[in-house]
Amino acid sequence: MGLMDFQGRVAIVTGAGRGMGRSHALMLASRGARVVVNDIPSPDEDINPADQVVAEIRAAGGVAVADLHSVITNADDIVATAIDHFGALDIVVCNAGVMSSTSLADADPEDWRRVFDIHFRGTVDVCRAAWPHLIASGTGRIVTTCSSGMLGNAGLTSYGSAKGATFSFSRSLAIEGQPHGITVNTILPSAWTRITGTIDDPAIAETLQKYFQPDHVAALVTWLCHQDTKITNEAFQVSGGRAGRLVMAAYPTVRTSDSTPENWRVHETELMQDGDLTPLRSTAEMFGNELADADPAIRHAMSDERGGLGLKPTTGREG
């Protein structure tokens, strides 16, 4: 089996100076992609890690350029680096992120927002800046980075909520990208990086270091980024050479003929029991299920194959 061919393709990888981002950049370059290695300098470092990764790529015969702009203040400049050096953009891997573990009550508001912005706003702004170029590509590819942190973890309200927002953003963006040949997928990775290296439990740290090398994640990401991979609007748990699809799902609904607070108290046990799960792949699918549960005849109206609701663009107002 030959290597997947990325000749002629141009990729941006954010947060690519270390950890998973570095592995993404190296693997894409090893298959022929021209890579913009994005990362920002750290005050305590003499050499920016992005420059080091570029040197690794070039030493192996690949093509890469470093970009030192912030994803939250200079997303346009990151994309401009790709266009100025390579004249096109086909692939965006949004990996940049930081960790802060503090309860909501104790978190400094500025630090809370900084963590959220790097993960979520950085992803949104880079994708927005890249979008017209990905349309021009005809086979644009976006991979965003979520986390099991979005499922809830004490001390990670900023990080987890940013990852949950990224999950939802990726799902909607995938639907918007379908008419343009753009695929959008997200990963929920586990790997041995600087972030997981802060875990105190020595047994967990040893297992991560032994089995969860970042290259395992990069392999799946590189596959998703290839122009022949048509999969879109999916989320993948990935770690240590294994991966699985993750979906939102709902337990069976409970119908009550008397919709009052008192009657829901009566139905509490029924509502909270487990049962068969129904995957929910889009807003339209969930909303369609709710409508059809009330009126099966409405099912014909929920036929938007792109997964949207057919809503007209509006500017909303609170209230």
According to DSSP, residue 41 is labeled P
How many angstroms separate the CA atoms of 174 and 210, rounded?
34
Residue located via tokens 């001390």: 155
Place of tokens 């093509």: 63
DSSP 13: E
Of these residues, 159, 192, 212, 236, which one is catalytic? 159
Who's near 225: CB < 8 A, 6+ residues apart? 6, 11, 28, 33, 91, 93, 141, 143
* Bridge pairing between strands 248-250 and 278-280: antiparallel
Structure tokens at 276: 């068969």
The whole-angstrom separation of Cα 161 and Cα 150 is 6
Distance CA 121, CA 214 (A): 24
Any catalytic annotation for residue 159?
yes
CB 41 within 8 A of CB 121: no
How do the residues of the chain divide into helix, strand and coil, expressed in percent and rounded to 5?
45, 15, 40
Q: Each residue of 166-193: b (16+ CB within 10 Å) or e?
A: bbebbbebbbebbebbbbbbbbbbbbbb
The identity of residue 276, as a single letter, is: D
> In angstroms, rounded to a whole number, what is the distance separating the alpha carbons of residues 285 and 288?
5
Which residues are tagged catalytic? 159
